[in-house]
């Protein structure tokens, strides 16, 4: 059984779907692994490292001529055209519901295992790329904020005077938000956090941050660990109640997203106008419209003296570790997909496993 790992061609994408460490394990299981030349270079994995663990270097067509195609980003039309009929695509689809790429793959008899459809269960946790990549995004967002904030994060005391710690607010306490809290605390900031789901309060406290408690008249707890969209009345109460808390902040990191819905507005322009000049907002929801209406996706802008960061691919900024996490997620998935046969791995019936059945598109 052949596994293909092509070069990611999306602008700004430096990750690769598998790493030499993981490919060594795949080869040991009997897979033939074909890696497009240069696929891992931007993530810090040279071709020689892949060759040394038993992968075969090939051109783009060779990588796509495989039974299992491993990718990070959503395929484009040229990718689908190059895929082997009857094969299996494993990677992100970055779509809500039906879309033309999924339809085109099905027309070629290609089965799609969309990684964002991974069920949120304990058994699937080691395969959850959304969590592994969000973890990296939360870390990198704090580093971005610290680099752009013109003052210290921790309290600093010197013979020349002292500086108070930065007051940092994290909005949205999912995987990215929790990592942002932990990273900001390690850097010495005074951290506050807010989430519409009341069960996150204990998690905030466990990381040494202070929860922002608001009475909205309803809970934002959704299914699968995600937040649900609030009513219009609750949204209005939320914005009004948050305004005073946010106006005191020096750094705001927003992570609030609702799957397949526009990101909720949490930091209004009126709040931005109240922030101290030089303050920083890092909006991790920029791809979904942003938690701040002044955010511009994939740009860093200054509005009312406040720096607003709208990067949409933080994991790619930490490409080596992001790729390593992603590759291990995919390896754990592949392990439950195959049995050991006399001539190598044998594919199981994907419709009979609760994880792969949920992922099939």
| CB distance 290 to 255 below 8 Å | no
d(CA 8, CA 233): 43
Q: How far apart are CA 62 and CA 4, in angstroms?
A: 8
CA distance 340 to 250: 56
Distant-in-sequence, close-in-space partners of 285: CB < 8 Å, separation ≥ 6: 172, 254, 255, 256, 257, 263, 291, 295
Q: Is 125 a catalytic residue?
A: yes
Q: What is the DSSP string of 67-106?
A: SEEE-SSPP-HHHHHHSPTT-EEEE----SS--HHHHHHH
Active-site choice (125, 126, 219, 239): 125
Whole-angstrom distance, CA of residue 257 vs CA of residue 312: 13
Q: State the burial class of residue 359 (Cβ atoms within 10 Å of its Cβ: 0-12, 13-18, 19+).
A: buried
Q: Is 126 exposed, middle or buried (0-12, 13-18, 19+ CB in 10 A)?
A: middle
Q: Which of 56, 120, 167, 186 is catalytic?
A: 120
Q: At what angle do helices 319-337 and 20-28 cross, to 10 degrees?
A: 20
Look up 131 and say whether it is catalytic.
yes
Question: Is 349 part of the annotated catalytic residue set?
Answer: no
Cα 150 to chain centroid, rounded: 27
Among the listed residues 42, 186, 201, 226, the single catalytic one is: 226
Q: How far apart are CA 91 and CA 69, in angstroms?
A: 8
195 is catalytic: no
**Among 128, 195, 283, 321, the one annotated catalytic:** 128
Does the active-site annotation cover 244? no
Distance of alpha carbon 21 from alpha carbon 13, whole angstroms: 21
Which residues are the active-site residues?
A: 120, 125, 128, 131, 226
């Amino acid at each position: 059984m052949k596994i293909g790992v092509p070069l990611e061609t999306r602008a700004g994408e430096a990750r690769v779907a598998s790493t030499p460490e993981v490919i060594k394990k795949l080869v040991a299981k009997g897979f033939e692994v074909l890696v497009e030349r240069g696929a891992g270079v931007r993530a810090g994995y040279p071709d020689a490292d892949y060759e040394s663990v038993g992968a075969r270097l090939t051109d783009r067509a060779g990588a796509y001529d495989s039974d299992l195609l491993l990718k990070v980003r959503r395929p484009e039309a040229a990718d689908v055209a190059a895929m082997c009929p009857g094969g299996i695509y494993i990677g992100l689809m970055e779509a809500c519901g039906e879309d033309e790429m999924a339809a085109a793959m099905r027309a070629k008899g290609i089965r799609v295992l969309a990684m964002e459809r991974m069920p949120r269960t304990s058994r699937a946790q080691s395969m959850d790329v959304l969590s592994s990549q969000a973890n990296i995004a939360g870390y990198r967002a704090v580093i971005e904020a610290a680099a752009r904030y013109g003052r210290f994060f921790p309290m600093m005391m010197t013979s020349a005077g002292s500086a108070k710690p930065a007051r940092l607010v994290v909005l949205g306490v999912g995987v990215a938000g929790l990592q942002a809290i932990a990273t900001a605390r390690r850097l010495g900031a005074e951290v506050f956090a807010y989430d519409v789901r009341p069960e996150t309060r204990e998690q905030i406290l466990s990381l040494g941050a202070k929860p922002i408690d608001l009475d909205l008249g309803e809970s934002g707890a959704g299914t699968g660990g995600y937040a649900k969209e609030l009513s219009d009345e609750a949204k209005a109460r939320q914005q009004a109640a948050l305004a005073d808390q946010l106006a005191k902040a020096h750094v705001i990191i927003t992570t609030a997203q609702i799957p397949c819905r526009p990101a909720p507005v949490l930091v209004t322009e009126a709040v931005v106008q109240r922030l101290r000049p030089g303050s920083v907002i890092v909006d991790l929801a920029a791809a979904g419209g942003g938690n701040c209406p002044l955010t511009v996706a994939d740009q860093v802008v200054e509005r009312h003296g406040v720096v607003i960061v709208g990067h949409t691919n933080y994991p790619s900024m930490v490409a080596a570790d992001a790729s390593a996490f992603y590759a291990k997620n995919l390896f754990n998935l592949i392990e439950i997909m195959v049995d050991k046969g006399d001539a190598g791995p044998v594919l199981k019936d994907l419709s009979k496993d609760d994880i792969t059945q949920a992922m099939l598109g």
